[in-house]
Structure 1
Amino acid sequence: MTLRQLREKTVGLAAVTTVLALTLAGCGGDEGAGDDGSSGGDSSSRQITVAALPLADGAPLYLAQNRGLFKKEGLDVRIQPVQQSIQALPALAKGQVDVIAGANYVTFLQADEKGTLDLRILAEGARVAPHMMDVLVPKDSPIKNADGLKGKKVAVNILNNIQSLTLDAILQERGAGLPEYRQIAFPQMGPALERGQVEAVHAAEPFSSAIQKDLGARVLIDGGSSPVTSIPISGYVTTRSYASGNPEAAAAFQRAVEAAAKIATEDPDAVREQLPEYTRVTAEQAESIHLPAYPATTDADQLRRLTELMREQGLLKKELDPGNLLLK
């Protein structure tokens, strides 16, 4: 798939996201919504609305749906697509969706710290794996190594988030200076690099592969290298209100996605077959892109790696024990 095709498909996805936003906004007056922001459910509620990103992170969600793992747990799971997990955050806080899949931890941990969201983590979604994100430069760029990024303009999808967090950690370990980040959406990174608006881009799959193919861009840094290898980046999150009000459904959802994550880990081809069904990735592209790691259990110690790194870089102001946010 070319960059142009990716951009066109992303425009289509944005339209779907707009429709979803309007739909969710219209849900505010539903009789089932509780005054405390919960969806009004209890331990017998078995219907779950999940806002999900069309990224490889969410593959276990779709595996669980298509292989009947949710039905096995007695759940009726309804998936709503969104372009960025942050777009669904207000809907989650208001109880208009029950779970967000592929929620980037940095944004949601910050929201919890600020008190705008009482977060609970149902299950891990994805961890960093080799080349699932890459720092790319033009093929004729004079930048030859990490040292060359000091002071240079580097594109990231969202400022002060997982991309800058992990890249800064990689550069600091190598003793290299830090770049200046520019917020550029993934579909626009290739054109920005081609026009010289930035000297490098930190692109996630499938955009990384597309930029390399279309522009001949070369990989300068593997975004999954030390010290951020296997660090958690996204998960399945909900609110304390939902988790406490629907304990059986929350636990059943956790079991189903963890079983699906095990399938994804043991059989990557199952993920590659799934991707074209819910993402903008073609079957051909799915065969070669670099997948994230799919943990089958949620590890508080691994999550602490992330929160400690966020503290070091000023993205969290207070100490936070992620173990207190896990589904009990």
Structure 2
Amino acid sequence: MFGIAESRGRGRARQTALTFAAVTILAAVTGCGALDPGASKASTDGRDPEKPQLTVSILPTTDLAPFWLAKDSGYFKDEGLDVESVIAASGQASLAKAISGEADISFSTYPPFFTASSTGAADMLLVADATSVNPKSNAIVAAPNSPVKTIYDLAGKKIAMTAKNTASDLLTRSVMQDHNVDYSTVKWVQIPLPNIAAALQQGQADAAYLPEPYITQAAQTVGAIPVIDINSGATQDFPLTGYGATRKWVRENPKSLAAFQRAMQRATHDAINDRARVEPLLVRFAKIDEDTAKLLTLPGYGSILDSRRLQRVPDLLLQLGAIEKPIDVNSMIAPQTRR
């Protein structure tokens, strides 16, 4: 009797001990969430941005469609980011905002990033791709009354561009060089993109480099005619625009950067696969009308940086004398995070 009772007592004690141990383990596993109702998955998966509020300097072009899509569809918000934008007059001006700290990330054509690095003006890293040249997305155009009718008429003429050593300058020179046209005789006229069509009409420039939507707008307002498509020769499928930040910012904000990259990858995928989502954003943010949004040619959108592809940019800069020594693109690419 005593043996049986003792055995049963030991069994109940063992069961009680096991139950207590299980409860203890469960509490250890879930205790943080139970004791702190504010705890969430975001705070335990290592994704909390160091700086949730970001400012991005941009240009009002069709290249920004994925960025606007990420803002409008809440993709940045999904990553814990509150992203605002400031408009710059040119790629160089956009870059300057990141260098000064007015912006965290800057959007620009690629040349200013490399020229800034080459001259020591700034230590910039590329953080995300944006666009490449597509057929008819970038062109040299002229008004109907211009003396420029073909690529061979550009020598010695006034050509409008946004700033020296930007895509508008370098890609124009590259195309002229492909056709053995002497660009050293050109008189370069620096004009902001929104004002170029009027400058062509008034004779302030004989021709101009334009991206979309300005090609379509200039055709509608002043009858501008494409002289040559930039998507040819050495500049075919050329890497055109991207996003950059200072090396210091990248080093101090790795989670914020990764969150920005993931949101942009998601938005870029959607922009590539659904033009219907892009056109209304161009009307709202690029300030173009619905007919223009339907007619214009979109650039080639991208988000992940490819060093082999991007190497074409500093190589062209070196060839045209815009930088004095070679640049290895790998040294300027920030860590890439994939969704």
Match of 1:256 in 2: 263
Pair 249,186 (structure 1): closer, same or farther in 2 beyond 3 Å: closer
Runs of 5+ unmatched residues, structure 1: 1-41
Pair 93,137 (structure 1): closer, same or farther in 2 beyond 3 Å: closer
TM-score, normalised to structure 2, is 0.78
In structure 1, C-alpha distance between the alignment counterparts of 2:93 and 2:243, rounded to whole Å: 15
1:95 aligns with 2:98: no
In structure 2, C-alpha distance between the alignment counterparts of 1:186 and 1:46, rounded to whole Å: 32
1:73 aligns with 2:79: yes
TM-score, normalised to structure 1, is 0.80
1:161 aligns with 2:166: yes
- Percent identity for Structure 1 against Structure 2: 30
What code does the residue aligned with 2:50 have? S
Q: 1:147·1:177 contact (CA, 8 Å) conserved in 2?
A: no
2:84 is paired with a residue whose SS is strand
- Using the TM superposition, give the Cα deviation of residue 165 of structure 1 relative to its aligned residue in structure 2, in angstroms: 0.9
In structure 2, C-alpha distance between the alignment counterparts of 1:43 and 1:67, rounded to whole Å: 19
1:286 aligns with 2:293: yes
Match of 1:213 in 2: 220
Deviates more, 1:225-234 or 1:84-93: 84-93
In structure 1, C-alpha distance between the alignment counterparts of 2:136 and 2:66, rounded to whole Å: 20
Runs of 5+ unmatched residues, structure 2: 1-47
1:170 aligns with 2:143: no
In structure 2, C-alpha distance between the alignment counterparts of 1:201 and 1:44, rounded to whole Å: 43
- Using the TM superposition, give the Cα deviation of residue 115 of structure 1 relative to its aligned residue in structure 2, in angstroms: 2.0
1:238 aligns with 2:224: no
Match of 1:197 in 2: 204
Q: 2:95·2:112 contact (CA, 8 Å) conserved in 1?
A: no
Deviates more, 1:84-93 or 1:249-258: 84-93
Rg: which structure is higher? 2
Kindly provide the CA deviation profile for residues 167-207 of structure 1, in whole angstroms up to 9, marking residues without a partner as x.
22122222333233222222332333223333222222222
- Using the TM superposition, give the Cα deviation of residue 124 of structure 1 relative to its aligned residue in structure 2, in angstroms: 0.7
Pair 296,87 (structure 1): closer, same or farther in 2 beyond 3 Å: closer
Pair 214,251 (structure 1): closer, same or farther in 2 beyond 3 Å: same
Pair 155,80 (structure 1): closer, same or farther in 2 beyond 3 Å: closer
Q: 1:159·1:182 contact (CA, 8 Å) conserved in 2?
A: no
- Using the TM superposition, give the Cα deviation of residue 84 of structure 1 relative to its aligned residue in structure 2, in angstroms: 2.9
Please give the root-mean-square deviation of Cα atoms over the aligned residues, in Å: 2.0
1:287 is paired with a residue whose SS is helix
1:128 aligns with 2:129: no
* Matched residue count: 286
2:56 is paired with a residue whose SS is strand
In structure 2, C-alpha distance between the alignment counterparts of 1:296 and 1:206, rounded to whole Å: 21
In structure 2, C-alpha distance between the alignment counterparts of 1:306 and 1:79, rounded to whole Å: 26
Kindly provide the CA deviation profile for residues 277-297 of structure 1, in whole angstroms up to 9, marking residues without a partner as x.
212212222111122111132
In structure 2, C-alpha distance between the alignment counterparts of 1:198 and 1:51, rounded to whole Å: 28
